[in-house]
């Protein structure tokens, strides 16, 4: 008998159809803050295929509304019209990775179109009631900044964050897609956190702290360095660009040169204040 | 030349302030255009010839017509060769 689990990520409800009861127990624990009773929008079926190999050459192709793929030991398809997906895993250990690949892809496609939101490859952090998003490709410092934030505030996610625009401003949300760089107990997984978002920060390791406000197109280019999935289809890329345009009109985007010390938070508070003052002066 | 350049249907693009960001999903390439290139991109919507685009640039950027025409031809040909623009 199929086992089911319903998950809410950024108001997209996934009904996971699992091949075994022990997998349900495993994933239930992993996704506990995101479980919901709300009606599902997406049906995602997980199956076993022990022949899959992580080292297989990855591929992805799109035909109409359907995307077929094999990546990192998972293969399957995702249909954006019928809102169904099937994904296979070679083992229990990779089951979460299989369903998260599908759910992240769906979030990339649907958040900008239907939910006034974007999924960004970034760390979402709340300090003194203010939200910060730090983004950049792997190795740019998201986990480092998350580690520095532990003593000062909440780490909503160290890897993938949802930014949603509401009539009262931008808000942050956790996702169940986290990295390996931050212990899970240090991540405060809250489905939505309504805090004023102070800015988006493109991370660059540097000998000293610097903060540079980015003009709109340059800001979008920075975001795109780590958002490849969003750009795989022309229609998706168009929706992504439109949503990014709305977000950068609400939230400033900076390039942040930083060194890994706790002075980061003081610098950000002061640096941002100076920037706001200089904008007011001009 | 009476052909009219237009955006390739496989390209996603948006102009932010006065700079365009273009995404080619088939090649996974992202490109940002400068303000003049972005204006040419906006004007290349399938309704204008190269000469008509050049006339607009002369007016908006205060350049002479020969310079504008040469710039438009070179730039459009480059974008066509990259499958970012196509001819209508």
Q: Which helix (H) or strand (E) holds B82?
A: none
Cβ neighbours for A269, distance < 8 A, ≥ 6 positions apart = none
| Both structure tokens of A16 | 């996971």
Q: Do A70 and A127 have their domain in common? A: no
- Residue A172 and residue A211 in one domain: yes
Flag if A224 and B20 touch (Cβ within 8 Å): no
Predicted confidence at residue B29, as pLDDT, reads: 87
What's the pLDDT at A233?
84
Residue B12 main-chain phi, psi, to 5 deg: -100, 135
Residue with tokens 């706001």: A276
In a domain, B45, yes or no: yes
pLDDT of residue A169: 87
Among B25, B27, B34, the residue to mutate for chain A (most A Cβ within 10 A): B25
Tell me what pLDDT residue A231 has.
58
Q: Provide the shortest C-alpha distance from residue A203 to chain B (in Å).
A: 20
Residue A221 and residue B30: Cβ atoms within 8 Å?
A: yes
Rounded to the nearest integer, the mean pLDDT of chain A is 88
**Which of the four pLDDT bands, split at 50, 70 and 90, describes residue A270?**
confident
A241: nearest CB among B10, B12, B17: B12
Q: What is the pLDDT of residues A55-70, one digit of tens each?
A: 888 988 888 899 999 9
Residue range A8-25: average pLDDT? Answer: 95
CB contact under 8 A, A240 and B12: yes
Query: Domain range spanning residue A61?
Result: 3-114
| CB-defined contacts A:B, below 8 A | 58
Using the Cβ of A238 and the Cβ atoms of chain B, whether some distance falls under 8 Å is answered with: yes
Q: What local confidence, expressed as pLDDT, does residue A278 receive?
A: 58
User: In this predicted complex, what is the ipTM?
Assistant: 0.90
Ramachandran angles phi, psi of A148, nearest 5°: -65, -25
Domain boundary among A114, A148, A177: A114
Closest by CA position to A142, among listed A165, A125, A129: A125
Query: Residue A23 has which token pair?
Result: 């997998």
- pLDDT tens digits, A237-254: 999 999 999 999 999 999
Give pLDDT tens digits for A102-161: 999 999 999 999 999 999 989 999 998 889 999 988 888 988 998 899 888 888 888 889
Asked whether residue B20 is assigned to any structural domain, the reply reads yes
Tokens matching residue A42: 């997406």
The enclosing domain of A200 has a CATH number of 3.90.228.20
Interchain CB contact of A233 with B (< 8 Å): yes
Residue B88 maps to a domain: no
Assign residue B55 the CATH number of its domain: 3.90.930.60
What is the structure's pLDDT at A280? 57
In terms of residue numbers, what domain contains B65? Answer: 5-82
Among A86, A114, A142, residue at a domain's last position: A114
> pLDDT value at position A101?
92
The verdict on A192 and A81 lying in the same domain is no
Which of A114, A147, A162 represents a domain boundary (last residue)? Answer: A114
pLDDT tens, chain B, 88 aa long: 689 999 999 999 999 999 999 999 888 889 999 999 999 999 999 999 999 999 999 999 999 999 999 999 999 999 999 999 999 8
Say yes or no: A62 and A142 in one domain: no
- A232 versus A95: the higher-pLDDT residue is A95
A44 and A146 belong to one structural domain: no
Task: Check whether residue A166 and residue A46 sit in a common domain.
Answer: no
Share of chain A above pLDDT 70, in %: 88
Q: Which of A217, A221, A243 to mutate to test the interface with B (most CBs of B within 10 A)?
A: A217
- The reply to whether A150 and A35 lie within a common domain is no
Give chain A's domain count: 2
Strand pairing category for A42-48 and A12-18 = parallel
pLDDT grade, residue A1 (50/70/90)?
low
**Of A218, A221, A232, which is closest to B25 when you measure between CB atoms?**
A232
Are A221 and B32 an interchain contact pair (Cβ–Cβ within 8 Å)? yes
Domain membership flag for residue B87 = no
Up-side HSE of residue A163: CA atoms within 13 Å toward CB? 29
Beta bridge partners of B7: B85
Under a CB-based contact definition with an 8 Å cutoff, are residues B20 and B37 in contact? yes
Name the band, by pLDDT with cuts 50, 70 and 90, for residue A275: low
User: Which residues in chain B have Cβ-Cβ distances shorter than 8 Å to A221?
Assistant: 21, 30, 32
Q: Are residues A192 and A163 in the same domain?
A: yes
Same-domain pairing of A75 and A122: no
Question: Which residues of B fall below an 8 Å CB-CB distance to A?
Answer: 9-14, 16-17, 19-21, 23, 25, 28, 30, 32
For chain A positions 122-161, those within 8 Å of chain B (CB to CB) are: none
Q: What is the pLDDT at residue A55?
A: 87
pLDDT digits (tens, 9 = 90+) for A176-218: 887 666 676 776 666 666 778 889 999 999 999 999 999 999 9
| A101, A126: one domain | no
Q: Please tell me which residue of chain B has the smallest CA distance to A224.
A: B30
Classify residue B47: in a domain, yes or no.
yes
Which chain A residues contact residue B32 at CB under 8 A? 217-218, 221
A273 in contact with chain B, both atoms CB, cutoff 8 A: no
User: Are the Cβ atoms of B16 and A216 closer than 8 angstroms?
Assistant: yes
Q: How confident is the model at residue A173 (pLDDT cuts 50, 70, 90)?
A: confident
Q: Does A22 touch chain B (CB under 8 A)?
A: no
Question: Which residues does chain A have within 8 Å of residue B23's beta carbon, measured at their own beta carbons?
Answer: 224, 231, 234, 237, 241
Give the 3-state secondary structure of residue A213: strand
**Same structural domain for residues A7 and A127?**
no
Q: Quote the number of domains for chain B.
A: 1
- Contacts with B83 from chain A: Cβ below 8 Å: none
């Amino acid at each position: 008998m199929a086992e089911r689990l319903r998950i809410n990520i950024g108001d997209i409800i996934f009904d996971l159809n699992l091949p075994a009861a022990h997998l349900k127990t495993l994933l239930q624990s992993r996704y506990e803050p995101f479980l919901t009773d709300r009606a599902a929008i997406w049906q995602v079926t997980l199956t076993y295929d022990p022949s899959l190999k992580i080292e297989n050459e990855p591929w992805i192709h799109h035909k109409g509304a359907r995307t077929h793929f094999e990546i990192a030991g998972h293969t399957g398809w995702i249909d954006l019209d019928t809102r169904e997906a099937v994904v296979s895993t070679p083992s229990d250990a990779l089951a979460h990775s299989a369903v998260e690949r599908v759910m992240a892809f769906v979030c990339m496609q649907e958040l900008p179109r239907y939910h006034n939101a974007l999924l960004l490859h970034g760390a979402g952090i709340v300090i003194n009631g203010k939200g910060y998003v730090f983004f950049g490709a792997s190795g740019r410092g998201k986990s480092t900044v998350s580690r520095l934030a532990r003593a000062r505030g909440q780490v909503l996610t160290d890897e993938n964050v949802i930014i949603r625009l509401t009539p009262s401003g931008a808000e942050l949300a956790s996702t169940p897609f986290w990295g390996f760089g931050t212990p899970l107990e240090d991540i405060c997984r809250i489905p939505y956190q309504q805090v004023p978002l102070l800015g988006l920060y493109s991370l660059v390791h540097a000998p000293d702290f610097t903060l540079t406000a980015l003009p709109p197109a340059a800001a979008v280019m920075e975001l795109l360095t780590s958002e490849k999935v969003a750009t795989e289809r022309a229609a998706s890329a168009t929706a992504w660009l439109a949503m990014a345009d709305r977000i950068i009109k609400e939230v400033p985007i900076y390039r942040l040169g930083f060194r890994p010390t706790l002075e980061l938070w003081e610098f950000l508070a002061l640096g941002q204040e100076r920037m706001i003052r200089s904008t007011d002066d001009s | 030349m009476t052909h009219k350049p237009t955006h390739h249907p496989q390209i996603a693009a948006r102009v932010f302030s006065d700079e365009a960001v273009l995404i080619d999903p088939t090649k996974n390439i992202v490109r940002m255009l400068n303000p003049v290139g972005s204006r040419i991109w906006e004007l290349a919507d399938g309704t204008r010839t190269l000469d008509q685009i050049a006339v607009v640039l002369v007016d908006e950027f205060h350049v002479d017509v020969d310079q504008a025409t040469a710039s438009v031809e070179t730039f459009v040909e480059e974008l066509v060769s990259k499958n970012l623009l196509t001819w209508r």
